[in-house]
Amino acid sequence: MTVTPTQAQIEQLIAGADPDEPVIMLNLLRFKEHADGIDEGISGREAYERYAEATAPFLSRVGGRLLCAADAKQMVIGPEALEWDMALMVEYPSRNKFLEMATDTGYLQAHEHRAAALADSRLIACSALPSARLDRRL
């Protein structure tokens, strides 16, 4: 189960690119059937909804925004079993702003809902492609 980054991953995030360039975080989420910790008694999805609601002010404060949220429905390419329940893409003005939010004391309290909700997750730092380059690739 992976729901928080290691110190080495944080250091790689800082060193991986210009810390002031925008970053899109791709979140792949697998919910627990039953949340634990502070959200015991509800589903993992419900606990994640609590996390999302509690996180919104922190995301807004650093200038971040949700680009896309989607429920996973069917594996088309890859292992037969559906590995993820949801995918999110969240844009931050910079890696520094992401880290500012991720280390905020209030956010860390809200993060307890995320830990209670998730059986597993992936968080992948991405850079947007210019739309002209993207159009040629499709």
> Per the structure, how many domains does the chain have?
1
List, for residues 95-131, the tens digit of each pLDDT value. Answer: 999 999 998 999 999 999 999 999 999 999 998 887 7
Indicate which CATH number applies to the domain containing 75.
3.30.70.100
The Cα 54–Cα 60 span in angstroms is 11
Q: How many C-beta atoms surround the C-beta of residue 120 within 10 A?
A: 15
Angle among Cα 37, 45, 50 to the nearest 5 degrees reads 65
For the cut 80, the answer to whether the pLDDT of residue 85 exceeds it is yes
At residue 1 the predicted structure's pLDDT band, cuts being 50, 70 and 90, is low
Q: What is the pLDDT of residue 56?
A: 97
> What residues form DSSP beta bridges with 70?
87
Average pLDDT, the chain: 89
* pTM, full prediction: 0.85
Quote the domain boundaries for residue 20. 7-137
